[in-house]
Amino acid sequence: MDKTPMTARGAEALRVELNKLKGEDRPRVIQAIAEAREHGDLKENAEYHAAREQQGFIEGRIQEIEGKLGSAQIIDPTTLNAGGKIVFGATVDLLDVTNDTEVTYQIVGEDESDIKAGRISITSPIARALIGKEVDDVAEVQAPGGVREYEILDVRYE
């Protein structure tokens, strides 16, 4: 099975969600199913069917998270010594040469990417273009609107 790269923060977020699903959501839906059963005929009991559907979603998400954590390769960016090269977990300050604006991204796993928070997936075109580059290098990214160039201003492992 392939290992999936994930930051320590991303793994912890998944663990928190898993604990909530197992400790709060699952018992609540089991209680809702039990209460709905007490109402009698299950064929036409909307509460029962809704609770069973919700239980299916919860159990599916639990399995998905356990699978992701089981195949995770947790990487702590603060322990990396990549010699100034951009690697998974690095935080990068870039200058978008096209419109002369600065942006900051951290390269993270697919599940933890959030462009508004400045976290981009390792599989994104920008991250793929940046991997292996150093400060003062220029990365060309094929974007839907054409090629964009990013000059690397700084690389941090935080």
- The confidence score (pLDDT) of residue 121 equals 93
Q: What is the mean pLDDT of residues 125-130?
A: 92
- pLDDT tens-digit series, residues 20-43: 999 999 999 999 888 888 877 777
Same structural domain for residues 82 and 151? yes
How does DSSP classify residue 80?
A: -
Same structural domain for residues 81 and 150? yes
- The confidence score (pLDDT) of residue 76 equals 85
50 is in which domain, residue-wise? 4-75
- Contacting residues for 17 by C-beta, under 8 A, at least 6 apart: 61, 65
- The confidence score (pLDDT) of residue 99 equals 87
Domain boundary among 46, 75, 104: 75
- pLDDT tens-digit series, residues 76-85: 888 877 788 9
Q: What is the mean pLDDT of residues 63-67?
A: 94
How does DSSP classify residue 146?
A: E
Instruction: Name the band, by pLDDT with cuts 50, 70 and 90, for residue 144.
Output: confident
CA distance 108 to 100: 25
Which CATH number belongs to the domain containing residue 20 in this structure? 1.10.287.180
CA distance 56 to 32: 13
Which residue shows structure tokens 């096209």? 98
Domain boundary among 40, 55, 75: 75
CA distance 88 to 111: 14
Same structural domain for residues 99 and 147? yes
Count of structural domains within the chain: 2
Which CATH number belongs to the domain containing residue 127 in this structure? 3.10.50.30
pTM above 0.75, yes or no: yes
Residue 134 near residue 128 (C-beta atoms within 8 A): no
